Each structure stands twice: as structure tokens, then as C-alpha cells.
Structure 1
Amino acid sequence: MISQGCPTRNCWRENVTWVIAEQDYKKTKEAYLKALEQKSHFDVLFRARKNNGQLIWCRAAGDPFYDAEGQYGGYAGFCMDIDEIISVRQAVIESQNQLTSMIQQSPVGICLFTGLDMKIEIANDIMIGYWGKDSSVIGLPMEEAVPELRGQPFMDILQQVYSTGETYYGHSVPANLKLNGKISTYYFEFTYTPIRDSKGTIYGVMDIAIDVTDQVIATKKLEETRMALAGAIELAELSTWTLDAETKTITCSDRFKEWLGLSAGTADREEFLQRISEPYRHKVAVAWKSRQRFGRTIL
């Protein structure tokens, strides 16, 4: 593309306006005329309409040239079709936006670490909340962003996943984290998954985590209660038994089995009833039927 002589503005108006898309015409013209006035390099992107009416992305660039005597001779440049490049770039940006949106809307904590230093590339609000931080941690190495994790196993596990390419699954793993200025122990189910590029090279690790602290604490309390009850029963020399409402079988403790003279710890309900004397046998049978109507197991 070569522009020479004075009628540059007229040439632009008469020959270019019908090619460049209306929404890009003003900025393209301004960039071109500014370069002409300053006799400087210009480089601009715009959409142009082809003969078939299709809009495509173009790049136009140029520089002033001078004759052998150093006199300004005009502009020499090029205009090229970069529609495919722009389309691919836009597709990548759209894909990234969709991924970011998906991560942000996820009901569980998700983040992406990249590089050997495990830089936090993406993290949703849930994951950032687990760490007790804010969005300023994005872009920081994990150890710098969450220093409380130093000395805990997570960084070593991340490095292991990054180097071996093997996914790691953590179940009810304790983590000491600082929330509201206080370090406490929390429990998480999590997965560390290696992320590869188009060539198959690992460039990051995806972390998906769920806070199961309440469940773990409840389970521990239940186990403590069960052990306390078992201790009380043993101390009081009590016996226990359980009725399975579906199979109609009784499971007895060793002490109760000995009392009833049963050969095994599990017996048919009828066999169990036969070992209870009247009038208690009838009362027990009526109580079982009453509870079974509500689908409950008798203890």
C-alpha cells in the first residue's frame, strides 16, 4: 500500500470509507491522518467489509519514505487479513471467561496453581474464604499467599502431583488455617489434578476442595459418645441387643447371648421371643410391631 501526493484526505474519504466498518472508521482514520501529519509510523486494527459483504479483521501499518535527496515521498505500508488470528484469540478469551465464570459459580472451592512455585492463577471466593484471605492473593505463590501452610504437607503434595502427573485424593485431611486472626484446625476433602497444555506438558495443578470440618467433628463426637456408652454399659454389667426390622433378626451382645443361652450372637426373632417368659413375651412382641410400623429398629 503506497500513498503519495497531497490529496490524502480526499483519497481516504472517497476510496476507503466504504471498505472499513462504520464502527471502526473514525478511530482508523484518526490514526492514519495523525501519522501522516507527524510523518510517523502507524499501526491500526479495524474491521473491513469484503466484496461478498463479509466483515473481517484487518491490520494496516505503514511508514513514511523519502527519495534519494531526502525529500518526503509518501507512505509505504501493508494491509493484511488477520481475521483468523483475531477469531482464535477471541475464542481463547471467551473460553477463559467461561472457565473463570464456572469456577466462580461452583458450590465448592476451586483454584488453579501454575508453575513450580504454585502461583495462584485462578481461585473462587469459596477457596479464598477457606484460606481466610481476599482476592489480593491472586497472582502470588501459594506459600507467600497462605504462609500458615508452611510445614504442613500440602506444598509437598502439590509438587509431587506437578512432577509425577498423578492425581492426589485427600480425605478428611486436617489443615491449620488462620481465619479472623485465629489459627484453627479445619478438615477438607480435596483433589489435586495435574493440568497439561496442548503438548501434554504439565503447567499447573487444579485444586478442588470441600470443607468437611462440621462432619468430622460430629463423627468424632458420635464416636466419643459411643465409646462412653459402651464403657458405661460394661461398667454397669448391662447387655444390649438390636433388632433388624427388615430381616427380623436379633443381634445380641456377648453378655445378653450368655443370659439367653444362645449359641450365636445373631438369632431369628421368633427364637429370641421363645426365650422370654410370659407375660413379657407378648409385651415385647407388641412393642416390636408398634415400632416397625414407623420403620424403626428396636434397640
Structure 2
Amino acid sequence: MRSKSMAYVILFFAVFFLSTSAIFVKIAAAPAGITAFYRLLITTLALIPFLILKEENRREIGKLNAKQWGMGVLSGFLLSVHYVLWFESLNYTSVASSTVIVCLQPLFALIGGYFIFKEKYSKLALMGCVIAILGSVVIGWGDLQISNEALLGDIMALVAAAIIAGYFMVGQHIRTTLSAIPYSVISFGSGSVFLAIYSLMRNENFIDYPLKTWGAFLGLAFMATILGQFIFTWLLKWLSASIISMSILGEAVGTCILSYFILSEKISLQQGTGIVIILVGLGIFLSQSSKRK
């Protein structure tokens, strides 16, 4: 990467493509585990040719030690558990409540970055983080629920937030010694295996879905995952897990805008206010982070 500025530009586009995730999940008429399974399986199958055709990638796979394999499989396990917990939380609490709580992942990433990678941020950068998180709360505040079921869903979403932060930190560690494609094939591939086992245990249907749902599976794989999630993995060589976790808050912004154009959902004054707050917070955080060595 020639400059960190270019990394931030690529990060911006990755967040945009990740924002399509909620749109495709909403279109897909399938259980959460099946949707997540095909998302990772199709992505893995699409990346395998790049793994096979490039000699460097084949060489890296051949030289992997037990620890690297274990870390790769661990990241896949964390990603699959994140998907299951987040999607299942939607059965108990509102979409807004779940999304707002999952957006707390930067807090876990910052804490992990401080203790594990010895990362330090200025007070202004931390203030930007808090402002961006407040923006996500503003977007979902009107739909927050209070009940025993909602509490269970909120707890599941909170655990999902901590797990996805852990997933990015594992990725940050392993990307120092392994290229993006070999790592992603191991991570996404093992994640799809865990999700297949989960779906089999729930006796869920793997095949009988309408063409529209299969199209949503493909969209999740090629747009939300390859152009979104995979790019995050690739950028972990130049940007920390904390920065990427913070940037993912922009997903709420992108989803609101895409929902307006694709699903004809209106953007309320409250959502518009939240979007502005998130962008201000992200701007402060990223501008301060770019000054770090």
C-alpha cells in the first residue's frame, strides 16, 4: 500500500459494499443459519481459484503450521458464532435494538487493541468513537424495546459484538504472516462448515428456496462479503482492527441510504440526525488515527 490515505479510500468503499448485507438478508427468504452458510460457502468457492492459481498462495498454504491453521479455524468459528447470535437476536428483539448493540463492537476492539496490541489513541479520537456510537443509538432509539425476551435478544447481540471484535483481532494477528486469500479461504471455509453443522442440527432446508433468495445469497457473497468483509481482512495488514471496527459503524449509514433507493424506505429526521452524528464521529476518529505512526 503506497499510502495510508489510499487504505482509507478502499476502506470507505468496503463499508459501502458491506452495507448491502442487510438489504440482501431482508430479501432472502431463508433461515439465518442457512443465509450465513451460503454467504460464506459461495465466497470460499469464489476465492479458491485465486488460491490455486497463484503460486505464492499455494506456497503459503503448504507451509502453514498448526498454530496458523488453528488461528484461521478459530476466526471462522468466531465469524459463524457472530452471525448466528446476531441473526438469532432478531427473533427476540427489534432490528434497531440489535443493530445498535452490535455497533458497540468498536469498544471491544479498542479495549482489545489496548491490551493485546498496545494501541493508544488520543482523547479526541476516543471522543470521535463515542460520538459515532451515539449516532447509531440515535438511529435505533425509537425502536428500542424493554421486555424479558428483548433483554435476551439484546444480550445475544452484545455477545455478537464482542465476538466480531475478537474475529478482527485474530485477523490482525494472523495477517502479519499470512496473505489475505489463504487466510480468508481457511476462515470463511471453516465458518461455512460450522454453520452447516448448526443448520443440520436445526433440521433446516438447504435447497428448496425461490430464485430471488438464491440471488440474495449471491449478492451477500460477492458484494457484502468479497467486496466488503474480504477487503477488511486484506486491509488488516495496514490498518488495525480498532480502525476497521470503528469504520463498520458506517454500515448503518449505508444501509439507511440503500434502503431508501432499493426498498423505498423513508429516512426519518431521527435517522438523518443519526447519520450526520456517525459521520462526524467517524471523521474525527479516522483523522486522528491517521496521525498515529
If the length of structure 1 is used for normalisation, what is the TM-score?
Answer: 0.18
Greater strand percent: which structure?
1
Q: Which has the higher contact order (CA 8 A, sep 6+)?
A: 2
Larger Rg: 1
If the length of structure 2 is used for normalisation, what is the TM-score?
Answer: 0.18
